[in-house]
Amino acid sequence: MPPSRLRAFALAFVLGALAACGFAPLELWPLALLCFAGLIALVARAGSGRRAAGIGWWFGLGHFCLGLNWIATSFTYQAAMPAWLGWLAVVLLSLYLALFPGLATGLAYWLGGKDRNRPALIPLLAACWIVSEYLRATLFTGFAWNPLAAIWVPIAPLPQIARVTGTYGLSGLTICVAGLLWQAWRAPVARMALTVLILAGVVASLLAPGPAMPDAKAPLLHVVQPNIGQDQKWSETAAADNYRRLASLSGMPGPRPRLVLWPEVAVPALLQDDALARLRLAALLGPHDVMLTGAEAFQYLPDGTIVAATNSLFGLDAQGRLLGRYDKAHLVPYGEYLPMRPLLSAIGVSRLAPGDIDFKAGPGPRDIMVPGVGKVGIQICYEIIFSGHVIDRANRPRFLFNPSNDAWFGRWGPPQHLAQARLRAAEEAMPIVRSTPTGISAVIDSRGRLIASLPWRTAGSIEVPLPAAAAPSLFARFGNILPLTLALLLGAIGFAWRRQSR
């Protein structure tokens, strides 16, 4: 490999790793923009489509290896496999995910024609980046974690642009901003445009209102975070103490009806089959309270043989009656089911979640009708990261509940998960409530702003009125047609600039 190419790939790898610092938990978004500007500069000088694709791939490899470091932590809770296998999993996953940035940069270079130092490269790369993020979220069950748009979550009101563009469209616009940084040193027009954007962003942030005061008559949410670590969650000796923590944090019933929200698989009992377990939970509720809690469920053959499990969410009233059930639809490969089980089991690879029975996927977004509240949409754990796939659009709920278990994802995973939930709230104009065993539990308003949250590794509860949902956003009506249309528009602009430069 020629030294110039090696230097370009090495620099791309470093830029990609630094760009990961722009996401939660570090949130150094200016650094991320500078790194993406550096990526565009490297692509512009690549010299061939293959080298441009290589630059994007090395950038993605550095980016995902650092940004997804939390995946390695999950292997420390799995006794059947060595902990070092977690870091191997991070690298192998990153090797695959880096193909998508490589696709974007290689395709943008090829579409840019001969004069690639012209501004045409910017909209072309933005268009290709939108398509590549959409494909990353879709192919082979998809892994939509940390779209570029997530760097804007801390900066109100920028995430609300996703109400029109969707998350992937906002990622494309972020590439355009990085492209202006690349052009700013050589083009007065780019410097002027960048200055206007910065001033507009500062003014918008200063003028952005805080979360609206909740309606005092709105249903009362009671979100529980018991701080039960992954090493305690499935321990039989810790089961009684785990239940006491959940029960004590559920508060005392009062005159006002409450919606008590527990995390993903908060109880080990099979609520669909165990009436006594349901009555035990119902004893924690007031006469008009309702509980939503995660639990597993089994599917049986007529002879009673268990054939599959589901990761489910159950609604329960004060009489112990089940009000509804949601089965997780977007399952985690290697976490909730083991692909190619006969082969991988033979070489010692096991599922990260305990148990030998694979989970079965549910039918997709569904609502549970809760008395006194109305329709509640459910997205269990990482289902919330899939833009455009979190709501049953024919039955828009009053809010989304996202019970999760981030207890095995270290320090970086939980804040990244929260940031993506805030993006969903902003683009869908829908409040989202998260309850997790170890944090970060939160109540998020329909603009993606935090109304209340509990820190990581802290036991506690949140009790606030339910925030109001806004009118359906443009994205809520049309979904990912919007970012893909934006990609076509940006591509057309790029081709127009390319023709003009000729």
Concatenated DSSP letters of 335-383: TTB-TTHHHHHHTT---SSS-SSPB----S--EEEETTTEEEEE--GGG
Q: Tens digits of per-residue pLDDT, 167-176?
A: 999 999 999 9
Better-predicted residue by pLDDT, 81 or 257: 257
Residue corresponding to tokens 């082969």? 343
Task: Tell me which of 35, 65, 176, 328 is the catalytic residue.
Answer: 328
Q: Percent of the chain scored above 70 by pLDDT?
A: 86
Show the tokens assigned to 440: 């970060």
Q: Is residue 375 annotated as a catalytic residue, yes or no? A: no
Task: Tell me which of 21, 133, 264, 383 is the catalytic residue.
Answer: 264
Instruction: Supply the pLDDT for residue 447.
Output: 93
- C-alpha 89/C-alpha 501 separation (Å) is 45
Neighbouring residues of 487: CB distance < 8 A, sequence distance ≥ 6: 126, 127, 128, 130, 131, 169, 172
Q: Tens digits of per-residue pLDDT, 388-430?
A: 999 998 899 999 999 999 888 889 999 999 999 999 999 999 9
Q: Percent of the chain scored above 90 by pLDDT?
A: 61
Output the DSSP codes for 66-110.
Answer: HHTTHHHHHGGG-TTS-THHHHHHHHHHHHHHTHHHHHHHHHHHH
Instruction: Supply the pLDDT for residue 344.
Output: 47
Angle made by CA atoms 423, 425, 427, in degrees to the nearest 5: 65
Is pLDDT of 292 > 80? yes
* Residues forming a β-bridge with 260: 222, 291
Give the CB-side neighbour count of residue 431, counting CA atoms within 13 A: 25
Is pLDDT of 297 > 60? yes
2: confidence class by pLDDT, cuts 50, 70, 90: low
Q: Is residue 128 annotated as a catalytic residue, yes or no? A: no
Mean pLDDT of 309-316: 92
pTM of the full structure:
0.91
Instruction: Judge contact between 486 and 474, C-beta under 8 A.
Output: no
Show the tokens assigned to 428: 């869908």
Q: Which of 113-117, 317-321, 336-340, 384-388 has the lowest mean pLDDT?
A: 336-340
Q: Tens digits of per-residue pLDDT, 114-142?
A: 665 678 899 999 999 999 999 999 998 89
- C-alpha 270/C-alpha 478 separation (Å) is 38
Instruction: Supply the pLDDT for residue 182.
Output: 87
- C-alpha 223/C-alpha 239 separation (Å) is 20
Q: Tens digits of per-residue pLDDT, 21-45?
A: 999 999 999 999 999 999 999 999 9
Give the CB-side neighbour count of residue 128, counting CA atoms within 13 A: 25
Instruction: Kindly tell me the burial class for residue 206, based on how many C-beta atoms sit within 10 Å of its own C-beta (0-12, 13-18, 19 or more).
Output: exposed
Average pLDDT, rounded, for the chain: 87
Q: Is residue 381 annotated as a catalytic residue, yes or no? A: yes
Task: Tell me which of 21, 65, 128, 381 is the catalytic residue.
Answer: 381
Task: Locate the domains of the chain by residue range.
Answer: 3-209+480-501, 220-467
Could you give the C-alpha distances from 338 to 144, 331, 334, 341, 408, in angstroms and in order? 20, 10, 5, 5, 18
CATH 3.60.110.10 matches 220-467: yes
